[in-house]
Structure 1
């Protein structure tokens, strides 16, 4: 069966300050705080679709920092579905500085199985410059405590923040890997209207990553996590009309993950000397090989590669077989 999330967004509620990059109204497309009835309705609608194993996922804010009574109201509305086995568990997203024994005991009681922390960076200079309000050590402490209670740990990192560099991002990835989370999300920074980053960008004090910049960096980061056995469950922000309307700069693309896969394929070919090649590719990976608007094909031609593309099921998805002609 396929796995799926029943996502319930809690926009900005519980966050102790506004981080440099954050405009939760834009990111979630939602300003209404969900009620217990909203939770039950979302779950009941999702369960009508057969063939999925679901988790209920509270995302968008800092779940363990919200009003405790409200947090419990949401959990109590979700827990019966865990208790009777209709969903596999509850996933929450929160800040590393709002994790302690008391809250983890409560989460355990009400069926939470997975906790994702917004680490964003493991560089204290970057965290401070972007008004995160916590340190890298807070991420370490919270991660270790979460795992000690038996929760699945997920960590989120961002690339291209103010004062960040590719070298710092790679170091962040190494430090996240050392914490051995089960999952990771990689979010290239998108500069949204109404944020501190937008002001820095307008004042020419911040030069954001482009999609190409972020994709190039991810071709280094992705193998690091894969080789460590850490599952990457998201590359780039989800597709959203609100983000498209409010993004003023940065690395936003609706198909960012596909662009990264495409870059991997291009780099594999570029390791060979220019010449005549037959590239064998799975039917589901043809668009990745060719790139957006056949960008990879045109680039290869300019670099002296004459390629013949052969589509075949004999090659695994996301892989290539290259034969010199």
Structure 2
């Protein structure tokens, strides 16, 4: 069942650090901090427009929600909680830093109807965290994650791939460490270099070098498979299209259909395995997956043709992936 959020941005309020990659005003497009009445207005408008409010959460994103002044946090939660319950939204979601979680904070969140907490882990490599001025350790992520789960919240972890001083190996190790924490959901954010950040300075000076987009797609495809095989739902892979991101982007792993590129790469691996030692193959896939199997701009079909294999993709009758003909 598809899940959606009503996003309320709290731009950079509460964050005790300015990370190398971060300019929340650019990412969220919001510089104004909403008050309780504005939250009520956002929620009221959304409640009249959303088709399935029972599958929708109010989401406080942007800054570190649990690090804002307590009175302000409670003001926002009080407003949001009025729109949670029977015939209204299913709950409240917030994002924060691993070092801004405590028993006291979690009790407040529970009281006001928060159901899910997402932690910006970004990396589970302390060298990478320090290089990007995160101000917390990998151990802080693990500790906060355990505490959140112990209090009965849904746990989400966010990781960034391609960070300054990271590598393919450290990103894969981060995914493995995240799996060890057993979150319910994960978001994968390939790095986008935004103007006005330290990362942009490193990039312009040649201190920060990026792998080709195609290599990043391949790695994130591997991460998608890894998380899903471990029962962890990947609720986002790639940054949302936004005029602020596109306008301020200096460099980065951005594509408007990044996740589909990754899912197409996963399909390509399956097609290659099916097509070993043959020149023609017809494969049935679920109708919803045909574009992924064919690949962006028919890239999978074109690639296999360059290897001497003609591939035909057709919709399956029973929602399965299977070989129909092979010769």
TM-score w.r.t. length of structure 1: 0.94
Q: After TM superposition, give the deviation of residue 238 of structure 1 in Å.
A: 1.2
CA distance in 1, matches of 2:280, 2:85: 60
Q: Please say if 1:324 is aligned against 2:319.
A: no
Residue 113 of structure 1: aligned partner: 115
In the alignment, which residue of structure 2 is the partner of 1:166? 168
For the pair 1:314 / 2:305, whether they are aligned, the reply is: no
2-side partners of 1:315 and 1:305: how far apart? 26
Q: Is residue 95–residue 117 contact of structure 1 (8 Å, CA) maintained in 2?
A: yes
Shift of 1:84: 5.4
TM-score, structure 2 as length reference:
0.93
How much has 1:286 moved relative to structure 2? 2.5
* Structure 2: segments with no counterpart, 5+ residues: none
Counterpart secondary structure, 2:119: strand
The residue that corresponds to 1:287 in the other structure is 291
Match of 1:266 in 2: 268
Q: Within the alignment, does 1:302 sit opposite 2:303 as a pair?
A: no
CA distance in 2, matches of 1:270, 1:322: 15
> Are 1:193 and 1:246, in contact at CA under 8 Å, matched by a contact in 2?
yes
Shift in CA distance, 251/73, structure 1 to aligned 2, threshold 3 Å: same
1:1-325 superposed matches below 5 A: 2-48=2-48, 49-53=50-54, 54-83=56-85, 86-271=88-273, 272-273=276-277, 275-309=279-313, 311-314=314-317, 316=319, 319=321, 321=323, 323-325=325-327
CA RMSD of aligned residues (A): 1.7
1:195 CA drift (Å):
1.0
Q: Distance in 2 between matches of 1:251 and 1:209?
A: 9
Structure 1 unaligned segments of length 5 or more: list them.
none
Question: Which is further off, 37-46 or 209-218?
Answer: 209-218
- The DSSP-based 3-state class of the residue aligned with 2:206 is coil
CA shift in 2, pair 1:60/1:210, >3 Å: farther
Q: Give a deviation string over 1:187-221, Cα, whole Å, max 9, x none.
A: 11111111111111111111124431221112221
Bigger Cα displacement from structure 2, 291-300 vs 250-259: 291-300
Q: Deviations over 1:303-324 (max 9, x none)?
A: 2112233x2242538x464631
CA contact (8 A) 1:189 1:209 kept: no
Q: 1:89 to 1:269 in 2, by over 3 A?
A: same
CA-to-partner distance for each residue in 1:45-99, whole Å, 9 max, x for gaps? Answer: 2211333422111011100111211111100101122255512111000000011
Distance in 2 (alpha carbons) for counterparts of 1:32 and 1:200: 29
Question: What is the deviation of 1:31?
Answer: 1.4
> Is 2:53–2:88's contact at 8 Å kept on the other side of the alignment?
no
- The whole-number CA distance in structure 2 between the counterparts of 1:248 and 1:223 is 30
Report if the CA contact (8 A) 1:10-1:59 is conserved: yes
Whether the 8 Å CA contact 1:192–1:246 is kept in 2: the answer is yes
